[in-house]
Amino acid sequence: MEMPHNRVFSGVQPTGNLHLGNYLGAIKRFVELQQTHECIYCVVDLHAITVWQDPRELLHNTREVAAAYISCGIDPVEHIIFNQSQVAEHAELAWLFNCVARIGWLNRMTQFKEKAGKHRENASVGLFAYPALMAADILIYRATHVPVGDDQKQHLELCRDIAQKFNVDFAEAIAVRGHKDGFFPLTEPLIAGPATRVMSLRDGARKMSKSEASDMSRINLTDDADTIARKVRKAKTDPEALPSEKEGLEGRPEAENLVGIFAALDDLSVEDVLQKYGGSQFQVFKSDLSDLAVSKLGPIGEEMQRLLADPQGIDDILRNGAERARAIAAPIYDEIRKIVGFAH
């Protein structure tokens, strides 16, 4: 069994309100990586239920993420799109990783602290164990690279810790079975570009997020042109003109966020954007940003609606993707059983 060299895995939760941050921080990068890597993109429904989901909405949201993947340019024939719960090996390996990961490691996860908030005792066990499932999602394919937004960096570090501990804990059995450099790769996070952390349009100190109560805080992939324009126009800014140099964005989180969004949408660097707009008032910049966002996101939203009109068609794509994902995961999990000493 060969260790893959360029296998990408990543996922998005079907929790509704897919937004510009999910697009620029994750899905747009997923699309680019198809040129150079073997890509497996998952709709992570097992992660979604770490917080209660209405079953009808979960099903719709799962199809919506799949539709977004395809509308943004992911090819479900050349690569793989599927939903996590259809490949049982994710959950099986997650259990094993629950026994490899240490409580102390999970206690340090800032996302759990933020999501559980003051009601920690009331949070689901799944929400706490989330990063072990995420490690299983990646390592059940022995994926080498994972494109994610900046908020997932800590979970990726934990994934590497779990892989390393497994490789050490079972070193002898791994070597006996002929794996020379450990069984799991130390997966590399791919976090790069001008929009790894897109911030709320209402507050430059908060991440743009699906669960934020105010819809004005984010641009949804399904927003129409008027809504996008209104949200950009109303985005919080400061009274100064835009600077010509990157350093001039320091201490101006809202300006920095909008410039980063512009750069990422137009495949430019922040420097390029500032060269063009340095000295301009926000009114001018926002008008161009709004046109740019509408021209990039409008066709995606329209294509999503078209695909969602045929839910059966999306389910077929997910089922086919799941079969192909399982064909990769099953032999890897068989090998893991042998390494660990499960009778088989």
Q: Given the rule CB under 6 A, which residues bind ligand AQP?
A: 12-13, 15, 21-22, 25-26, 148-149, 151-152, 196-198, 207-211
CB of 75 to ligand AQP, least distance (A): 19
Q: Residues of 142-181 as b/e, b for ≥16 C-beta within 10 angstroms? A: bbbbbbbbbbbebbbebbbbbbebbbeebeeebeeeebee
- Answer for the pair 179, 222: CB distance below 8 angstroms, yes or no: no
Cβ closer to ligand AQP: 26 or 332? Answer: 26
Closest CA to 28 of 271, 300, 302, 324: 300
- Answer for the pair 228, 288: CB distance below 8 angstroms, yes or no: no
Cβ closer to ligand AQP: 209 or 290? Answer: 209
Q: Hey, how many other C-beta atoms are within 10 angstroms of the C-beta on 54?
A: 10
Q: Which residue lies nearest ligand AQP, judged by its C-beta?
A: 25
Cβ closer to ligand AQP: 68 or 174? Answer: 68
Cβ closer to ligand AQP: 48 or 339? Answer: 48
CB of 290 to ligand AQP, least distance (A): 19
CB of 142 to ligand AQP, least distance (A): 20
3-state secondary structure of 215: helix
CA distances (Å), origin 202, targets 11, 229, 239? 27, 15, 15
* C-alpha atoms less than 13 angstroms from C-alpha of 14 in its C-beta half-sphere: 28
CB of 49 to ligand AQP, least distance (A): 12
CB of 14 to ligand AQP, least distance (A): 8
So which residues are the catalytic ones?
A: 115, 207, 210
Burial class (CB in 10 A: 0-12, 13-18, 19+), 84: buried
Cβ closer to ligand AQP: 167 or 196? Answer: 196
End-to-end C-alpha distance for the chain, whole angstroms = 18
CB of 174 to ligand AQP, least distance (A): 30
> What residues form DSSP beta bridges with 207?
199
3-state secondary structure of 31: helix
CB of 21 to ligand AQP, least distance (A): 3
Q: Strand runs (DSSP E) across 15-128, as ranges?
A: 38-43, 80-83
Structure tokens at 233: 């126009």
Helix (H) or strand (E) holding 301: helix 282-308
Q: Strand runs (DSSP E) across the chain, as ranges?
A: 7-12, 38-43, 80-83, 145-147, 188-190
Cβ closer to ligand AQP: 197 or 230? Answer: 197
Cβ closer to ligand AQP: 85 or 152? Answer: 152
